Amino acid sequence: MTEDVSLKEYLELHVKKLESDIAALREYCKLSTEDNKELTELSRKDNQELNIQHFDLNQRAINEAKNVMTLRLDGMNEWRAQSKDREDRYVTKDVHALLEAKVRELELSKALLEGKADQKSVDSVRTTSLISLGIGLVGVVLALIGFFTRT
């Protein structure tokens, strides 16, 4: 058997159901709003903590970057000093070629001077030669005298 329900009763039941659903939805929204406020406050606190941590991490990264940059600049300064020392110690190819030519010229000049006799040695050789020539002439004259006196 079917129960006969009038349209009015059906609509009243349906309206009551909708009203109870609306009331439940309003209660949910009310709780949701309060929860949302609490969550917002918690989220704000968490965001503050995260911002502080983020700031600290950024400061650490900046300090580390400064340290790395300082080390890099120190290395570059050391390289620059070594290059300056190298420039001060070494000569260019043009200067080297000029110095090499001057050294060759000095070596040739030295060899030429070593090959030449100085005035003192020339005088001693001349004196020795003259004495030897004098002794030789005396010997020849004595030999000629001895040859002509025998006959």
Give the type of residue at 14.
H
pTM of the model: 0.36
Cα-flanking dihedrals φ and ψ of residue 8, to 5°?
A: -65, -45
pLDDT value for 140: 92
* Residue 44 token pair: 């704000």
Residue-range domain boundaries for the chain: 1-90
pLDDT value for 11: 82
Report the chain's terminal Cα–Cα distance, integer Å: 202
Cα-flanking dihedrals φ and ψ of residue 102, to 5°?
A: -65, -40
**Average pLDDT, 10 consecutive residues per value, the chain (151 residues):** 69 85 78 66 77 88 91 92 85 87 90 75 89 93 88 63
Q: Are 27 and 19 in contact (CB under 8 A)?
A: no
Q: Are 86 and 94 in contact (CB under 8 A)?
A: no
Residue 113 CA: distances (Å) to CA of 4, 35, 108, 117, 126: 149, 112, 9, 8, 20
Tell me how long the chain is.
151
pLDDT value for 39: 67
